Amino acid sequence: MALKATIYKAELMISDMDRDYYATHTLTIAQHPSETILRMMTRIAVFALNAHERLEFTRGISTDDEPDLWQRTYSDETELWIELGQPDEKRLRKACNKAQSVKLYGYQGNAFDVWWKQHENKIHAYPKLSVIKLADDACTQLESLCTRTMRLQATIQDGTMWLGNDEQSIEFTPETLFGGDQS
């Protein structure tokens, strides 16, 4: 018998002063049976960092031809392809061929650092790609925000995001390793 995804609901209120984006998103997040709470909550944090009315979660882990999140145009072209973790270089090449912009968010501390050292020189061949590292300590705190029904607030200012609920807030300052202002 196949295991089914666990469904989470989140109301995510975003105040992004860096991009002048202010909105509330009602999200339904399917946690794949092989996905950790840490990874799922990191997807929510990455959603907040890139929020847009057309940004959406995909089938993610369970499919090879979709990213973790994407933003598509009204004519069904991929504007933004977002990956999490340490994808294969072929996957990044495919993403850069399919999308106008690709972002990779690394979040697993030492494992991501090792991946980055192995791939840093190859990454320069992909001008559409940005590689962003999320601090491991901030990501591990995300698990404490997880409930089946969440009300989260994200405030983004000067490149730093505070993500929290009524009880606590976690501070993120993503580090761009490649692309964006670094390329």
Helix (H/G/I), strand (E/B), else coil: 89: helix
* pLDDT tens, per residue, the chain with 183 residues: 457 889 999 999 999 999 999 999 999 999 988 899 999 999 999 999 999 999 999 976 656 679 999 999 999 999 999 999 999 999 999 999 999 999 999 998 889 999 999 999 999 899 999 999 999 899 999 999 999 999 999 999 999 999 999 999 999 999 999 996 554
Residue with tokens 């609920």: 165
The model scores a pTM over 0.85: yes
Average pLDDT of the residues of the chain? 93
The CA distance from 60 to 51, in Å, is 17
How far apart are alpha carbons 146 and 24 in whole angstroms?
18
CATH class of 6-178: alpha beta
CB neighbours of residue 105 within 10 Å: 24
Alpha-carbon distance values, 164 to 10, 80, 84, 147 (Å): 12, 25, 21, 12
For the stretch 94-104, pLDDT in tens is: 999 999 999 99
